[in-house]
Each structure stands twice: as structure tokens, then as C-alpha cells.
Amino acid sequence: MRAAVLGSMPGGAALAARQYYAHPRNSFWPLMAELFGVDAGAPYARRLRGLRARGVGLWDVLASCERAGSLDQAIVRATAVLNELEPWLAGKQLRAVALNGQLAAGLFRRHAAPRLAASLAERGVAVLALPSTSPANARGGYPAKLAAWRRFAAAVTRD
């Protein structure tokens, strides 16, 4: 794995479909199509294979939480249980970690970065806080998201 995309926690549509970024207005798969050539309209398993073939893995900062609805703001912080990111990221030939949205970035900085920062820096891994691909994040629209996520694609494909 050359890169990891870490979200906060899958939303309702993703949990119901058992697929990351399943909401039809989420920008994630269109961005991956534009940046990595993954067919956004393909069946989910094929999209995942396309990302894996490009060295990109998907996971979340949170393992579980309570929330009403799908918005990150609705997460009851006292119920948030973090995933153990260190073993998942250790030993990989990572070039980049993309933090999909403000909550994922904040949780990563507060909880994982203190333990991982030195190791990631030594390996030259770019840790990028990127705008959420969620349809709830309308700031700048798709063009702004694409411009920001190009940094991730550049880090993944650098020689």
C-alpha cells in the first residue's frame, strides 16, 4: 500500500450499503476516477480493486461511535472509539495519508499523530488534511475538492 485515505466514520448510506462513500452525491468516487482512473460507475468491488491496484487503501479513524444521522457533527464524542491505526500503517511503503475531512484530520492529529508522527516523517510520508468529500461539505464545490485532492494524487504517484 502506497497511500491511505482515512475518513471519520461511514455515513448512513455507506453503512446500509456496506460500501465506503456510497452516498450518491459523495465526491469520493468521482475524484478517484479523475485522479487515478478508477471507474466511478463500476461495481463497488471493481472500484476497490482499482484503488488497490494503485496502492490506495481505505479505512476510518473511528472504529465505532453513536450518532443520529450521518453528519460528523452529530457524533457523540464520548462514544467515539478509535481504530488502531498504528499496526495498519506500520511497515507499509506509504507515500501519503489523506485525512478526508476536518473531523478525521482532528482525530488523527490528537490521537494517532503523537504516536505516528516521527515514524511517518522519517519515511517521508505526506499527511494531508483534505476537504471532506461528503455532500454536506459544499464549500467551493467539486472544483475546490478536486484541486485539494490533486495534492494527494501527486504524493501517491511521485517517484
Mean pLDDT within 3-31 = 96
* Cα–Cα distance, 125 to 156 (Å, whole number): 10
Q: Is the pLDDT of residue 140 over 90?
A: no
Supply the pLDDT for residue 7. Answer: 97
Residue 145 predicted with pLDDT over 90: yes
pLDDT recorded at residue 139: 82
Rg (CA), the chain: 15
- Determine the 3-state secondary structure of 62 from DSSP: strand
- What's the CA gap between 63 and 55, in Å, rounded? 22
CB distance 131 to 101 below 8 Å: yes
pLDDT at 91: 78
Q: Which residues pair with 64 in a beta bridge?
A: 81
pLDDT of 84: 94
Integer Cα distance of 134 and 126 in angstroms = 22
Q: What is the pLDDT of residues 77-112, one digit of tens each?
A: 899 999 999 999 987 899 999 999 999 999 999 999
What mean pLDDT, rounded, does the chain reach?
A: 94
Query: Averaged over 118-124, what is the pLDDT?
Result: 92
Q: Is the pLDDT of residue 159 over 80?
A: no
In this predicted structure, the answer to whether residue 138 has a pLDDT above a threshold of 80 is no
Domains of the chain: 3-157 (3.40.470.10)
pLDDT per position as a tens digit, 49-62: 999 999 999 999 99
Give me the pLDDT at residue 25, please: 95
Identify the pLDDT of residue 96.
97
